[in-house]
Amino acid sequence: MNDPEVLVLVANDAAGEGVNLQRAHLMVNYDLPWNPNRLEQRFGRIHRIGQREVCHLWNLVAKDTREGDVYFKLLKKLEVEREALGDKVFDVLGRLFDQKALRELFMEAIRYGNDPEVRARLEREAEGAVDRQHLQRLLDERALVHDSMDVSRVQAIREAMERAHARRLQPHFIQAFFLDAFRRLGGKIHRREEGRFEISHVPVALRRRDRHIGLGAPVLERYERVCFEKDKVDRQPRAELVCPGHPLLSATIDLVLERYGHVLKRGSVLVDEADPKDTPRLLFYLEHSVHDGRRTRTGELLTISKRMHFVEVGPDGEYQDAGAAPYLDYRPATDEERALVEQELDAAWLHKDWDDEVMGFAITKIVPRHVEEVRARRLAQIEKTEREVKARLTKEIAYWDRRAQDLKEKERAGKRTRLPAQVAQERADSLADRLKARLEALEAERHIMPAPPRVTGGSLIVPGGLLRKLGVRTASLAEVADAAERQRVERLAMEAVMAAERALGRTPRDVSAERGLGYDIESKDPESGELVFIEVKGRQAGASTVTLTKNEILAALNTAERFRLAIVEVDGDTVKEPIYVRGFDFGQPGFAQTSANFDLATLRKHGGQPA
């Protein structure tokens, strides 16, 4: 199907299912099936994943024929309802005539079409089948998530997607990681057009690794262009999008973990400069998976959800959620700093068997929540999928069974048929086998079970407050030496921005206590429902710089139109109006970079009133 010389494919009804024809995007039905469900099946051959063009469908109707008149009325009314209800009307074509088959309407039209009363009744029945209320009822029944998708649920999902968008690792973090890791592994990659790269050499170790893990398409020796953002793919020359799931990225991650994974278990000492406290804490990296009853090609249980969790614990044994990616804001300790905190490394509380304690915490707190979230989401979907599969395939099986019986009777009577009865029976049997296999697969999907959690690594986190107490002048937050004064400035700045948001008519929510978000305030527009993400920086009069952590920079890059950097100057008890910085180019942070300083005067010039 990929021959560039082929412009037109002529096919019979056998091409109506089971083949992928997304290289085409124009379809003409020159013989219309008496089962309208076949229309949707045929169109599904070109309108599927991988299609890059807008698909068009033309249905040729025989003019001035009795059955043609019925079909014309049906298609014309269907087009009217499509404009009102959307393209999903085509998903329920097979159920429009549950009470009387379209075949029966056609037969009546052929036999009695000269009778005006019969013709009028047939037209009413055809139009009634495509009545808007009837269509909407069928669509509601078919919707896999209808019962949970009321307006509030849709809004909640939208907000969750916007938050996830702000925290996504693709493209910026993935790009920084890949460029650094690929070069460390011996690869050669060169910048070309903006945001696009040429890979002139892929190391043999990566190509072998791809063959070993066997994920998707093979890793090539070279790539003319690669990119990390979707909007940079379709330029000349066309680029490969390197993203999670791409074989080159998968092979790179797998090889990095093999060569350096032991470092995670060995642990490291990291510095949290923004923490004013003077008590160290431990950060643990936990991996947890949820399986169902299906098996992979290698015989392992299929993973349906995998998450990384980060938890921190101090000498008091109290655990707390460390957020999505806390390590992005922590930097490695220098040799001087490690020497200063040497005593802390020998503290008795660090020498406990933390693996068992952390595993116990994960089993009682993290695993049940993860499994329940997955189970609640998937079981409802499986139930509705099963109903839809049964309804669709059972109807198809019944159709071909009846067809086979009709053909057998004609063959016994010595009549010639276009389709042998054996072929019709084979189709019915094949559909029955498919139904059985699909139901068995759905039953396996119901067996949702947790895998044991795994502690993949850990770090000792040294707060900036401890280093400053020991005499080290850290790079950030140096303007305010007193922790109490710094907290006062930050509190006043937050209050000023919250007030500014309310004055704009938005509904702000303080999320500064949540770790690793990259912003302090989430503000909702009551009219559009859209979220605005605001990072608040309170500065004393005379300050010259503003420091942004890596998570804050990534949030700004990921949600450029909705991100605000709010700068509030505090001079004694005087709090000035916040300055909102929007659309500023904070730059792409390097892989090992944890923060960046920006000139306050430059930011003020770029900023403006709250908006």
The winner for highest mean pLDDT among 124-133, 404-413, 490-499 is 490-499
Q: 423, 443, 471: which is the final residue of a domain?
A: 471
Q: Is 171 left (phi over 0), alpha (psi -120 to 50) or beta?
A: alpha
Q: 96 or 176: which carries more pLDDT confidence?
A: 176
Three-class secondary structure of residue 209 per DSSP: helix
Strands 331-332 and 521-524: unpaired
Q: Which of 258, 278, 297 is the last residue of a domain?
A: 258
- Give the residue with greater pLDDT, 345 vs 517: 517
Query: Using 50, 70 and 90 to split pLDDT, how confident is the model at 64?
Result: confident
Domain shared by 288 and 341, yes or no: yes
419 and 505 co-located in one domain: no
Q: Are residues 398 and 352 in the same domain?
A: yes
pLDDT, tens digit, 9 for 90 and up, residues 371-418: 999 998 899 889 988 988 888 889 889 888 998 999 999 889 888 888
- 249 pLDDT exceeds 60? yes
Give the highest mean pLDDT range of 266-270, 430-434, 532-536, 571-575: 532-536
Is 4 within a domain? Answer: no
Residues 283 and 310: beta-carbon distance below 8 Å: yes
Same domain, 83 and 64: yes
Residue 162 within a domain: no
One domain, residues 132 and 182 = no
pLDDT over threshold 60, residue 23: yes
User: pLDDT value at position 477?
Assistant: 46
Residue finishing a domain among 215, 234, 258: 258
Average pLDDT over residues 264-272: 88
444 and 510 within one domain: no
Residues 308 and 253 in one domain: no
357 plus 488 within the same structural domain: no
Q: Is the pLDDT of residue 266 over 50?
A: yes
Does position 154 have pLDDT exceeding 80, yes or no? no
Q: Is residue 247 part of a domain?
A: yes
pLDDT category at 609 given cuts 50, 70, 90 is very high
How many folded domains does the chain comprise? 4
Tell me what pLDDT residue 511 has: 94
Q: Which domain holds residue 143?
A: 13-148
Task: Please tell me the predicted confidence (pLDDT) of residue 133.
Answer: 63
Question: Are 195 and 319 in a shared domain?
Answer: no
DSSP structural state of residue 142 = H
Residue 417 lies in a domain: yes
pLDDT tens digits for 439-488?
999 999 999 999 999 999 999 999 988 888 887 766 554 444 566 788 89
Query: Region 130-139: what's the mean pLDDT?
Result: 60
Task: Tell me if 72 is assigned to some domain.
Answer: yes
For residue 63, CA distances in Å to 34, 59, 71 come to 16, 12, 10
The model's confidence at residue 185, banded by pLDDT at 50, 70 and 90, is very high
Where residue 74 falls among pLDDT bands split at 50, 70, 90? low
Token pair for residue 477? 């937050």
Q: Which residue has the higher pLDDT, 534 or 59?
A: 534
pTM over 0.75: no
pLDDT for 495: 95
582 lies in a domain? yes
What pLDDT, on the 0 to 100 scale, is given for residue 602? 94
Residues 335 and 204 in one domain: no
| 569 inside domain | yes
Query: Which has more pLDDT, 39 or 130?
Result: 39
Residues 6+ apart with CB under 8 A from 216: 245, 246, 247, 250
Are the CB atoms for 157 and 529 separated by under 8 Å?
no
Same domain, 132 and 201: no
In contact, 176 and 588? CB cutoff 8 Å:
yes
The band of 135, judged by pLDDT with boundaries at 50, 70 and 90, is low
Q: How confident is the model at residue 161 (pLDDT cuts 50, 70, 90)?
A: confident
Is 292 in the same domain as 404? yes
Contacts of 397 (CB under 8 A, 6+ apart): 428, 431, 432, 435
Q: How confident is the model at residue 123 (pLDDT cuts 50, 70, 90)?
A: low
For the residues 169-195, what does the mean pLDDT come to? Answer: 92
Instruction: Please state, in angstroms and rounded to a whole number, the distance separating the CA atoms of residues 17 and 38.
Output: 9
Is 112 a domain residue?
Answer: yes
Confidence of residue 531 (pLDDT cuts 50, 70, 90): very high
Structure tokens at 534: 């605001």
CATH code of the domain containing 556: 3.40.1350.10
Residue 501 confidence (pLDDT): 96
